[in-house]
Amino acid sequence: MINVDLLIQQDGKTLMIWREDPWGEGWHVPGGIIRYGEAAERRLAKVSEAELGVPVNPAAAPCALLQLHNSGRGHFISLVYRCELNVDSAHFAAISSSARGMSGQARWLKGMPEFIYPAHDIYRPLIEPANEETSSFGLNSVLVFSDKIVGYENAA
């Protein structure tokens, strides 16, 4: 499956949403599966409206391509787009990265949250800067198109 993800970051924080479903619970990067015949731009608009309730301005091209082989739901290829909000960032409150949320709640989090949605640990290089502790965390693969992203890793 191919999906789009909205990477919305400002002042060292990432806008994430609390998710609870049969595959797990935790903070996740907003995103959605592209439907057959649908353009990525259309899915980005639908995701921003459905998950955030506000429109976003996505970059013209993805900043990263992520691949998740063992999500429990299938093989995912994620086109990650940097996006800017079309509303004041204060529209969403900040919350501690060690806090849990309520289903559908969107919040600004600094760094990688303690309670990350199980399949979304793959987004770690996009959310927190590289350092010795996070340089080898077992990604399936990350292909980076932007110099602001950490790099490429391939799990053995």
- Give the DSSP per-residue string, 35-63: PTT--HHHHHHHHIIIIISS-EEE-SS-S
Give the model's confidence band at 86: pLDDT under 50 very low, under 70 low, under 90 confident, else very high. Answer: confident
Pairing type for strands 31-33 and 24-28 reads unpaired
Name the pTM for this structure. Answer: 0.81
Is the domain covering 2-144 a CATH 3.90.79.10 domain?
yes
The pLDDT value recorded for residue 19 is 93
126-140 residue pLDDT tens = 888 644 343 333 334
Largest CA distance in the chain: 42
In three-state secondary structure terms, 25 is strand
The pLDDT value recorded for residue 100 is 87
Say yes or no to pLDDT of 156 above 50.
no
